[in-house]
Structure 1
Amino acid sequence: MLAQNEAAGLDSEKLEALYRQLGDSSAEDVVCRAMEELALRLSQVERYFRANEIDEMRKGARSIAAIAEQIGMAALSRVAQQLHQCASTNDTVAQAAVLARLIRVGERSLMEIWELQDLSI
């Protein structure tokens, strides 16, 4: 079995800049809302794929990329962009593979940023 282990790829400098710019309380609110939105959109994108709603999956991937980029989730943003690009093909195998990677990286990114918040960036 292929071991699927990929780092979350957080950009801590971007996250720290967000905290400096907004202050601890406001930045924490922004990050928490972004995390909730990402979790919701990750599940939506997966449902769209299963329902063969590829245009909706593409839109969801684009929004995941934008939200992830704002809070320093570089790897998640990059994989979401790859899913967005892949959705324009008729290659459902490639779409499924990139989606599975998006879910894995998304879960790891959310866990890692949650742990960072517990340590009070």
Structure 2
Amino acid sequence: MTVIFLAPNERPRVDAEPLEMLRSDLGPFGAEDIVCRAMEDISQRLFHIQRLAIDGPPEDLHKALRALCPVAEQIGLKSMAQVSRDVMLCIEDADPVAVAATLSRLTRIAEQSLVRLWNSPELSV
């Protein structure tokens, strides 16, 4: 028997335009404050989503995912928002295997997106 290890490697899409708009509207310090608050909010929401995935009703998980999308989009984390929508579709289809797989993908994308945003000089505010 051959065991194959799959190592998903994705490059999350981060859109710099929302960050530029925040910077032009609020200045660099105001934009930095918004981005930091949004990143903290996203982290808390992801923790809540993971807990709901383990023992929460699917309706609550769907609601939490729907609430994550606008926060991610506000700071240009398009991939995270899209994968959140993908998980919602799997919930609507009542497909637990697909929900688990897309939630795992959301976790990977979210981690990579937040790290990329935090460390990227061209995306920093």
TM-score for both structures, normalised by structure 1:
0.92
What is the distance in 2 between the residues matched to 1:108 and 1:16? 21
Deviations along 1:38-81, one digit per CA (max 9) or x if unpaired, are 01111111110110421111011111111001110010111011
Change in 2 beyond 3 A, CA 1:120/1:47: closer
What is the distance in 2 between the residues matched to 1:42 and 1:27? 22
Deviations along 1:3-54, one digit per CA (max 9) or x if unpaired, are 2111121001221222112111111111011000101111111110110421
Q: Which residue of 1 aligns with 2:119?
A: 115
What is the distance in 1 between the residues matched to 2:15 and 2:50? 25
How far apart are 1:118 and its partner, in Å? 9.4
Q: List 4+ stretches of structure 1 deviating above 2 A.
A: 116-121
Query: Which of 53, 62, 68 is matched with 1:64 structurally?
Result: 68
Structure 2: runs of 5+ lacking an equivalent:
none
Change in 2 beyond 3 A, CA 1:96/1:14: same
Query: Which of 80, 91, 105 is matched with 1:76 structurally?
Result: 80
1:32 equivalenced with 2:40 (yes/no): no
What is the distance in 1 between the residues matched to 2:124 and 2:74? 19
Q: Which residue of 2 aligns with 1:19?
A: 23
Change in 2 beyond 3 A, CA 1:56/1:23: same
What is the distance in 2 between the residues matched to 1:14 and 1:119? 10
Name which one, 1 or 2, has greater alpha-carbon Rg. 2
Give the counterpart letter for 2:60 in structure 1: E
Name the Cα RMSD after superposition: 1.7
What is the distance in 1 between the residues matched to 2:25 and 2:110? 25
TM-score for both structures, normalised by structure 2:
0.89
Query: Which of 87, 91, 100 is matched with 1:87 structurally?
Result: 91
* Percentage identity across paired residues of the two chains: 39
